[in-house]
């Protein structure tokens, strides 16, 4: 095993300590990622070792950190599972670089079933759409597991949904609701800082939590059927003055799509006669590789908005979801993506450089280089 210099050990332990402090204080974690990666130990030989670590409720974040840096050295071999693991460590710059690289590599070879171009002036705000539909009993939005912008947006709108009368929050990510703090036992994705903050904020706002995902059957399509059945049961329990907000994963909420086996949203609509308002947060992401629906923006947009799929319905006869959210082109703040502010709920904080000498960190976060 390669020897790790003492200064490298100190850095790894220091940033691991920052992670635990940040989790305890309910802050969005944003770790530095410009260590001397060539000195990182190669004590993890493959993904099986990594999965063994992340499936343990007592996660060794030092090993997780070292593993991610080893993989970062091989960008050409990164996959979406690695990107999800990067998100747990707040390595959002690396995630954005990966997404942009993948998009540029595949953009010319994409052959989506539907394409359209929109102007910012044609988009209405998400707030406007929610307020217009505040009488809806059930609204579903989706999480893209490797694009944290979707979680940051959902987090920033929780208070709006609460003010519109939504009382219950169902999340695909929930595993064990007996856990009262975000972490692996609550659900794998709650190790990621923004998802963890969704739980904290929803708890502060007084939402009642609902778990509905079910992996008990390995039969194809059974998971979506069980998701729909569990949501139907929860909806039946709602009182007159109660409403359900759902944060599902990827395309499970698709309610209008000719595919088999049926997805959760389609089953809710056709079998249980429940037609929720569905808002897609996935296909309007910047630099996202979509093979089904691609919505271009004419020029750079600085404000996100809702795309109404009337043309899609006319051309194809179906629309997947009721509405699609088009994300803006986020600028960076202190060399970090601006969406990390989560609509103003979180602030970027510049940390004083630890190096006595001028370091190689060229980011705006390094105060020494800002002088």
Helix or strand or coil: residue 260? Answer: coil
Please answer whether residues 188 and 54 qualify as being in contact, where contact means their C-beta atoms are separated by less than 8 angstroms: yes
Residue 322 tokens, joined: 């009721």
The secondary structure element, H or E, covering residue 6 is helix 6-25
Q: End-to-end distance of the chain based on CA atoms, in angstroms?
A: 40
CA atoms within 13 A on the CB side of 370: 11
Per-residue pLDDT at 173: 92
Q: Which residues are CB-contacts of 118 (< 8 A; sequence separation ≥ 6)? A: 295, 296, 297, 298, 307, 326
**Mean pLDDT, 10 residues at a time, the chain of 371 residues:** 46 49 41 33 40 48 57 61 74 78 77 81 91 95 90 95 97 90 86 91 96 80 89 94 95 84 90 94 81 74 84 84 88 74 76 59 44 41
d(C-alpha 281, C-alpha 327), whole Å: 8
Per-residue pLDDT at 356: 56
Measured in residues, the chain has a length of 371
d(C-alpha 160, C-alpha 95), whole Å: 28
Please answer whether residues 350 and 334 qualify as being in contact, where contact means their C-beta atoms are separated by less than 8 angstroms: yes
Pick from 315, 318, 311, 317: nearest CA to 278 = 318
Torsion angle defined by CA atoms of residues 170, 173, 178 and 184, in that order, rounded to the nearest 10 degrees: -160
What sign has the CA pseudo-torsion 181, 184, 187, 190? Answer: positive
Per-residue pLDDT at 347: 74
Q: Which domains does the chain have, with CATH numbers?
A: 1-109 (no CATH), 115-326 (3.40.50)
Whole-structure pTM value? 0.76
Pick from 221, 173, 178, 220: nearest CA to 197 = 173
């Amino acid at each position: 095993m390669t020897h790790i210099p003492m200064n490298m050990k100190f850095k790894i332990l220091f940033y691991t300590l920052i992670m635990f402090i940040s989790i305890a204080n309910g802050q969005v974690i944003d770790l530095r990622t410009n260590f001397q990666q060539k000195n990182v130990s190669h004590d993890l030989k493959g993904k099986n070792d990594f999965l063994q670590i992340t499936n343990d409720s007592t996660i060794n974040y030092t090993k997780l950190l070292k593993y991610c840096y080893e993989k970062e050295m091989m960008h050409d071999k990164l996959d979406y599972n690695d990107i999800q693991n990067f998100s747990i460590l707040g390595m959002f710059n690396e995630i954005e670089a990966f997404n942009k690289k993948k998009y540029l590599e595949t953009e010319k070879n994409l052959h989506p079933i539907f394409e359209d171009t929109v102007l910012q002036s044609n988009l209405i705000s998400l707030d406007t759409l929610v307020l217009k539909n505040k009488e809806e009993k059930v609204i579903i939005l989706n999480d893209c597991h490797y694009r944290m912008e979707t979680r940051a947006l959902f987090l920033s709108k929780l208070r709006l949904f609460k003010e519109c009368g939504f009382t219950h929050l169902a999340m695909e990510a929930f595993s064990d609701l007996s856990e009262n703090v975000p972490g692996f036992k609550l659900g794998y994705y709650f190790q990621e800082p923004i998802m963890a903050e969704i739980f904290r904020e929803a708890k502060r706002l007084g939402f009642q939590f609902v778990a509905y995902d079910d992996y008990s059957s390995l039969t194809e399509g059974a998971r979506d059927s069980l998701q729909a059945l569990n949501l139907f049961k929860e909806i039946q329990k709602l009182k007159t003055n109660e409403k359900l907000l759902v944060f599902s994963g990827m395309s499970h909420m698709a309610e209008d799509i000719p595919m088999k086996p049926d997805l959760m949203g389609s089953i809710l609509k056709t079998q249980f006669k429940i037609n929720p308002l569905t808002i897609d947060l996935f296909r309007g992401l910047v630099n996202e590789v979509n093979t089904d629906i691609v919505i271009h923006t004419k020029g750079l947009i600085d404000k996100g908005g809702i795309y109404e799929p009337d043309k899609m319905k006319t051309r194809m006869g179906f629309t997947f979801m009721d509405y699609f959210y088009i994300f803006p082109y986020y600028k960076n703040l202190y060399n970090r993506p601006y969406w990390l502010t989560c609509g103003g709920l979180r602030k970027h904080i510049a940390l004083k450089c630890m190096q006595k000498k001028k370091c190689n960190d060229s980011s705006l976060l390094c105060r020494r280089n800002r002088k």
